[in-house]
Amino acid sequence: MDSTVTKRWLLARLYEPEQTIVDCRFTLGKPQEGKERYNKEHIPGAVYLDLELDLSAPVGGHGGRHPLPDTQVLASRLSKLGIGNDTRIVAYDDENGMNAARLWWLLRYLGHEQVYILEGGFSQWKEGKYPVTDHQPVRVPSSFVANVRPQMLAGVEEVREVSAKTVNNAGAETGSDVNVADAVPTLPVLIDSRAKDRYQGMNETLDKKAGHIPGALNYFWKNTQNADGSFKSADELAAHFAGLDKEAEIIVYCGSGVTACPNVLALEKAGYKNVRLYAGSWSDWISYEDNPVATGDE
């Protein structure tokens, strides 16, 4: 089954007891807004998970702006919401899927495969005249046991090594969203998921340094989606990522590890099997003063 579901698919299964719907709406810079919107109206039966309080750990010296949450703390939170290891989870947001994709990635990192993202998010659900409510469900606690998959992560030390290898072995000029068929096939690939101007170091409003990790290619995460917020088809995504060797190791990052998650999903949908997340991403990278910074196009 695909990692996304349609509104019609969810409507047909809206009240199935083995399913939990999770509202992940969140607005950067306005941390209360997502929960307020949930309290006002949400998909019937949905519970709420906060990007910064539930799906991230407190910010420290390293780890980026949205460090990964402690796995046992998250497992306990899921258990209290009635989510167990056999629960099917459907996540949604109103931010083009970026927060829902964070939950999608985290759950798979915890060993849970039955997790999906609602295409189009809450606004399209409501605009389609599908049911909404302000009633908050009473949840019977369950037991979620984490089976962590560390192989899904790449740490800063490994990213340093991949960056250095990429720069040292660069034999062909590559750039943003271009065909990289001439790159060394076995060379690991770093993908920067941010908008082009941030990747180039031209417009940085969130982090203290501008630019990108040397050697990284720019594939803006929103380019994996259609105008209505749904993800492109597998064939369209394969064309989008054309030139990347499907056997190569791919490490994906963004500003803080959130918008990289839709790119991870898109790469997997396009048939890439060896995709990992640099969770701390750019905001973690620049927390180490000795890490090099590149600007412009690669």
d(CA 254, CA 241): 17
pLDDT band at 20 (very low <50, low <70, confident <90, very high): very high
What is the pLDDT, as a whole number, of residue 183?
Answer: 44
Catalytic amino acids? Answer: 254
Per-residue model confidence as pLDDT tens digits over 212-261: 999 999 999 999 999 888 899 999 999 999 989 999 999 999 999 999 99
Q: What is the mean pLDDT of residues 105-125?
A: 97
pLDDT band at 2 (very low <50, low <70, confident <90, very high): confident
Query: Would the pLDDT of 199 be above 60?
Result: yes
What is the pLDDT, as a whole number, of residue 116?
Answer: 98
Query: Would the pLDDT of 297 be above 50?
Result: yes
Angle at 275 between CA 281 and CA 266, to 5 degrees: 90
What is the pLDDT, as a whole number, of residue 100?
Answer: 98
What is the pLDDT, as a whole number, of residue 229?
Answer: 84
What is the pLDDT, as a whole number, of residue 298?
Answer: 80
Helices (H), 214-259: 234-240
The per-residue pLDDT of the chain, averaged, comes to 93
Q: What is the mean pLDDT of residues 169-177?
A: 53
Percent of the chain whose predicted confidence (pLDDT) is above 70: 94
Q: Where in the chain is the domain with CATH 3.40.250.10?
A: 4-148, 153-285
Per-residue model confidence as pLDDT tens digits over 254-270: 999 999 999 999 999 99
| SS3 per residue for 15-62 | CCCCEEEEECCCECCECCHHHHHHHHCECCCCEECCCCCCCCCCCCCC
Place of tokens 């050697």: 215
Query: Would the pLDDT of 184 be above 80?
Result: no
| Domain at 153-285, CATH from 3.40.250.10, 3.20.20.70, 3.40.30.10, 3.30.70.20 | 3.40.250.10
Exposure letters 27-55 (e unless 16+ CB within 10 A, then b)? bbeeeeebbebbeeebbebbbbbbbbebb
Place of tokens 């750019």: 282
d(CA 156, CA 249): 15
pLDDT band at 271 (very low <50, low <70, confident <90, very high): very high
d(CA 64, CA 132): 35
What is the pLDDT, as a whole number, of residue 1?
Answer: 62
Per-residue model confidence as pLDDT tens digits over 60-109: 999 999 999 999 999 999 999 999 999 999 999 999 999 999 999 999 99
Residue type, 158: E
What is the pLDDT, as a whole number, of residue 181?
Answer: 43
Residues with Cβ < 8 Å from 219, sequence gap 6 or more? 176, 177, 191, 192, 193, 240, 241, 263
Angle at 54 between CA 53 and CA 56, to 5 degrees: 80
Query: Would the pLDDT of 176 be above 50?
Result: no
Per-residue model confidence as pLDDT tens digits over 128-147: 999 999 999 999 999 999 99
Determine the length of the chain. 298
Instruction: Report the topology of domain 4-148.
Output: Oxidized Rhodanese; domain 1 (3.40.250)
d(CA 44, CA 132): 6
- The lowest-confidence range among 76-85, 130-139, 182-191, 285-294 is 182-191
Enter the DSSP assignment of 289: T
CA distances from 55 to 226, 279, 280 (A): 26, 12, 13
What is the pLDDT, as a whole number, of residue 225?
Answer: 94
Query: Would the pLDDT of 7 be above 80?
Result: yes
**Longest distance between any two alpha carbons in the chain, whole Å:** 59
- 3-class DSSP state of 225: strand
Provide, for the chain, the percentages of residues in helix, strand and coil under a 3-state DSSP scheme, each rounded to the nearest 5. 30, 15, 55
d(CA 258, CA 56): 10
